[in-house]
Structure 1
Amino acid sequence: MAERSNSPKFERPEVVLTDIDDEGQDQHLPPPGPSTRSQSKRKTAWYSYTFNMSDTELKAQLEELIAKNRILDSQLKAQSEPKPGTSYEQANNNSQSTHFIQRTDFFFYCSSIATKTSQPFHVALAIAVLVFWLSSPGSDSSLRGWRALYVGAVATHLGAQVWMTLVSGIVLYFSLPRHEFGRVQTVLFPTYYAFNAGISMLALLSYFRMQCLTKFAYTSYAQFALLLAVFSIEAYVRLRLVSPMLRAKHIKTQMEEVAGGGQEVGRLILGELAHCPRYLRVLRTFRMYHSSIAMGTMIALGCSVYSTMIIVDAMCH
C-alpha cells in the first residue's frame, strides 16, 4: 500500500511503499528509470507520483495556457472588427493590413514553386500533350475537350483521395512523432479539401456542359447525383469543419506540450492529462470534428469510385 508524506506545496511528494517481502523495511520510490522492483509495484508508485504532480504545477500551467488562448482570441477578434467612429476607408485599410502577411506568404509560396521547382515544366508538358491531342483528327473538338476535362477531373480527384486517405496519412502517422504528424496535417488539410472541392466542381460543370452539347442524349442522373454529393461534402468539410478541428487540435497540442507528451509514434498516451477535465473536453471536441471529417471523406471516396465505374460502363457501351 502506498502512503504519501506531508510535503509542502510545489515540492516533490515522497511516496513510500511497504513491502512485507523485503523484511518489512520501507523503501522510498526511486526516480524514473530502471528499477529492481516488480512491474506492478513500479506502476502503482509512478501513478501516485504523477497524479500528485498534476494537482499543482500542471494544473496551474494549463490554466495559464487557457487564459493566454482566450486573450489571444479576443485580440484577434478585436483586430478584425472596425473600431467605432472609423470610416469605411480606415476599416478597409485595417482589414487589408491584417491579411497582408497571409497574402504575402501565398504569393511567395507560388513564386517559389514557379522559380525554384520543376513543377512548371510538368504543367507545360501536360498542356502540350493536351493541345496535340485536341488538334489530332477526330470528332468535334469542343466535345472532345469537355470530355477530356471531365475524365481528367474525375481521375485526378480519385487519385488525390486514394493517396491522401490510404497511403500518405497512414505512412506518416506510423513514421513521425504525433505532434510532427499533426503539424503536417495542419498544413495539408485546408489545401487538400479546397483542392478536392474545386476539382469535383470542375468535374460537375464539365459533365453538365458535355450533356448540353449532346442534347442530354446519354445522360446519367446517377452520375449527376454522385458528382454533386462529392462536391457538397467536400465544400462543407472545408468551410465548416476544418477550421474548428484545427483550433481544437492547436489547443490540445499546447496542453500536451506542457505535460511533456506528443512524441510517441502511432499511438496516443494521455499520461498525466488523463486526470485533466479541460484537456478531456478539448480532446472530445477534436475527435468529434475529426470523426465527422473522416466520415465525410469515406463517403466521398465511395461516391468517387462508383462515379468511375459509371465512366467504365459508358466506355463499354
Structure 2
Amino acid sequence: MCARSLADIDSSNTETNDLINRKPKRPNVKLLKKNFAQCTEDMCVEVKNKDMKIQPDLLAITVMKYRKMVNTLTKIMGRFEEMKTYRVVFEMTQPAHLVTILAVSVIAMITYPQGGDAANPDVIKISPLISLIYLSSFMMHFGFQVWMTFVSGLSLYFNVSRHTFGEVQKVLFPRYFSVNSFLSLVTLVIFVKYHPIHVWNSCIGLQVMAMSVCFLLELVIRLYLAPPLVQLTVVKNAIEAEAGVGMEVGKYKPGSLVKCPHYVKIHCTFRRVHMAVAIGNLLTMACTTLHLHYLSQKISIV
C-alpha cells in the first residue's frame, strides 16, 4: 500500500515537473492574422448583402447642422469682407481710433452723474433678469480668462508642436479679446446702472475703475495688438517652415535661423507684442479677480 502510494507520488511529481519545465507554445501569428482578416471580410460581405448602413446619431446630426450653419455664415462674411466698406473700416488704423474714442465716451456717459441725492438715494429695484445677465456676463468673462490663460494655452503648448500651437492661437486670440471686451462692457454698464454715482463710496468707485480699465485694456489689445500679433505669427511660421524648424513641442529651437538677421528681427518684434498682450491679459485678470472678491463679500450662500 505504501509502495504504491510512493510510486503514484513519484509519477505525479514527474508529470508536474514536465508541465513546469515545458515551454509555452507560441501562437501562430500568421494564422491569427489570416483568421482575423477572413472574419473581417466575412462581416463586410454580410453587411453588404444585408444593405446595412451606419445611421447617424443625434450628436452627429447636430454637428452636421452646426457645420452647415457655420459654412453659411462664413460665406456671408466672406462676401462682406470683399466690400470696400469693410476694408476701409477694418483694414485701416483710423477706425480703431474711432472705436477707442467711442468706448471712452460710453464709459464717461454711464459714469456721469444722473442726478439724485446722496442723503436720499433713489430706491432701485433690481430685475431678476438683469441680475442674471450681470452674473452670467461676469461668470463667462472670468471663466474665459482662467481657461485661456491657465488651461488651454499651457496644455496646447506642452502637447502639440509650436506651429500647431501658433495656428490655434492665431484663431483664438482675436475672438478671445473681442468676447471678453464685450462681456466686461456688459458687466460695467449693469453695475453702474444699479450703482449711481451719488451712492458711490471708495469700494464701489474702485470696482467701477477696475472694470473700466479691464474693458479698455481688452479693447485696446483687440484693436491694436492682436492684428499685428497674428500677422507676425503667419510670417514667422512661414520662415520657420521653409527652414524645417518649428515642429518641436514645449520648447523653442530656431536652428540655423538664429543667424538670420531678418528672422531675428521678426522674432524679437513678435516677442515684444506677445509680452505686451500677456501683461495686458494678466492685468485684466487682476481686475476681474478684484470684482470677484467684491461679489464674494456681497453674496451669501447660506
TM-score (norm 2): 0.57
1:259: which partner in 2? 243
Correspondence for 1:287 among 263, 271, 274:
271
1:278 aligns with 2:267: no
Letter in 1 for 2:235: I
1:145 aligns with 2:129: yes
Cα-to-partner distance string for 1:42-82 (whole Å, 9 max, x where unaligned): xxxxxxxxxxxxxxxxxxxxxxxxxxxxxxxxxxxxxxxxx
Q: Report the counterpart of residue 192 of structure 2 in structure 1.
A: 208
What CA distance in whole angstroms lies between the structure 2 residues aligned with 1:190 and 1:284? 21
Which of 73, 81, 84 is the equivalent residue of 1:95? Answer: 84
**What is the deviation of 1:151?**
2.0
How far is 1:154 from its partner? Answer: 1.4
- Residues in 1 aligned to 2:82 and 2:172: alpha-carbon distance in whole angstroms: 30
- Equivalence for 2:218: 234
| Matching of residues 14-33 of structure 1 within 5 Å | none
Are the structure 2 counterparts of residues 206 and 97 from structure 1 closer, same or farther at C-alpha, using a change threshold of 3 Å? closer
Higher relative contact order (CA 8 A, sep 6+): 2
Gaps of 5+ in 1: 1-91, 100-138
d(CA) in 2 for partners of 1:236, 1:277: 30
Offset, 1:141: 7.1
Work out the CA distance in 1 between the residues paired with 2:127 and 2:86. 46
Distance 2:129 2:198 in 1: 17
- 2:146 is aligned with what amino acid? V
- Which letter does structure 2 place at the counterpart of 1:247? Q
Q: CA deviation at 1:93?
A: 8.4
Q: Do the aligned partners of 1:204 and 1:227 also contact (CA within 8 Å) in 2?
A: yes
Residue in structure 2 matched with residue 244 of structure 1 by the alignment: 228
SS in 1 for 2:299: helix
How many angstroms apart in 2 are the aligned matches of 1:192 and 1:237? 10
Decide whether the 8 Å contact of 2:161 with 2:247 is kept in 1: yes
Contact 2:246 2:254 in 1 (8 A): no
* Distance in 2 of aligned mates of 1:221 and 1:196: 22
Secondary structure at 1:220 match in 2: helix
**CA offset digits 1:185-227 (Å, max 9, x no partner):** 1110000000000000000011111224x97378711110111
Do the aligned residues in 2 keep the contact of 1:241 with 1:289 (CA within 8 Å)? yes
CA displacement, residues 172-193 of structure 1 (integer Å, 9 cap, x when unaligned): 1111111011101111000000
1:180 equivalent in alignment to 2:164: yes
Query: What does the per-residue CA deviation read over 1:224-256, in whole Å, with 9 as the maximum and x for residues that have no partner?
Result: 011101101100000000001111111111110
Which one of the candidate residues 150, 174, 179 is aligned to 1:166? 150
Q: Is the 8 A contact 1:146 1:207 kept in 2?
A: no
Aligned to 2:120: none
Cα distance between partner residues in 2 of 1:311 and 1:270? 46
Q: Deviations over 1:277-307 (max 9, x none)?
A: 0000000000010000000001111111111
Aligned partner of residue 195 in structure 2, secondary structure: helix
1:152: Cα distance to partner?
1.9
Go from structure 1 to structure 2 and tell me whether the alpha carbon gap of 1:263 and 1:303 turns closer, same or farther (over 3 Å shift).
same
Supply the distance in 2 between the matched residues of 1:96 and 1:203 (Cα, whole angstroms). 31
- For residues 191 and 152 of structure 1, what CA distance do their matches in structure 2 show? 18
Q: Contact conserved, 1:176 with 1:265, CA < 8 A, in 2?
A: yes
Considering only aligned residues, what root-mean-square deviation do their CA atoms show, in Å?
2.6
Alpha-carbon distance in structure 1 between the residues aligned to 2:83 and 2:194: 45
Q: Percent identity?
A: 30
1:223 partner letter:
Q
Q: Which runs of 5+ in 2 are unaligned?
A: 1-80, 89-122
1:312 Cα offset (Å) = 1.1
